[in-house]
Structure 1
């Protein structure tokens, strides 16, 4: 019985260690310029392919004013999913010019359903579900962050 549990415990320990490392990541300010005025968030960046692959997986919560920025290097069709992601998210697809192109609101936790950009996107900003509606975010709004549009 102990041999069966050991691998599970090791996996859980590694996931916990990784989640703790990511949770301690450096935050930067990202601003959405909406018709109702600027709206600020504290953002982690997913810099490496491994960080982009994991994203916000395994997290059980996130403050309402936090999120994660993914930079795919150049505008392209982007597909995301919610596998191993426990919190519902709003996925904000952003073009190379820093303008919001599409918002996928209130994504389904733990789903393997593909969430496409439906057009070229260079960036994706993931926020807690409901954030886009709460701040009045719409396609065409501008994203201001040192990496966006750089």
Structure 2
């Protein structure tokens, strides 16, 4: 009996144009370049299937309104830091070094406007911490 060919994982989505994002940390301003995930499809796919992400790049998920947010790492090949951001641009919390392919739910812990995903461990290396302030057009501060 012949076997059907194995289903292939979808190709990683094409990288969107990058926007500047600044984070005012205790030790200075960190500048990142981020893709914006504004549509349901972009938010659903996120960084799935990507095999690499440069240190100072990431994806900013804009949820449009403050709400509790739940993320996961299904079909995500690389560890990420998830930075949960309030509507005023302040960082509520950081989930560091998430586990690739995990379907464990990662909660914002409170209503947030956005989530920034960056390479796993980058928040610690760059000195990004809860309470720091994110500045970008999304928060009307750039």
- For normalisation by structure 2, the TM-score amounts to 0.93
Q: Pick one of 40, 62, 70 that aligns with 1:49.
A: 40
Name the residue aligned to 2:50.
59
Q: 5 Å matches for 1:47-126?
A: 47-126=38-117
Report the number of matched residues: 141
Post-superposition Cα deviations, 1:7-45, rounded to whole Å, max 9, x if no partner, equal 72xx44xx22xx2x422x100111111011000111001
Post-superposition Cα deviations, 1:72-111, rounded to whole Å, max 9, x if no partner, equal 1111110000000010000000000000000000001000
Q: Secondary structure at the match of 1:43?
A: strand
Q: Pick one of 14, 18, 26 that aligns with 1:22.
A: 14
Unaligned runs of 5+ in 1: none
Q: What is the Cα-based RMSD across aligned positions, in Å?
A: 1.6
Whichever structure has more helix as a proportion of its residues is 1
- For normalisation by structure 1, the TM-score amounts to 0.88
Report the Cα distance in structure 1 between the residues aligned to 2:102 and 2:89, rounded to whole angstroms. Answer: 28
Unaligned runs of 5+ in 2: none
Question: Quick check: 2:96–2:120 contact (8 Å CA) kept in 1?
Answer: yes
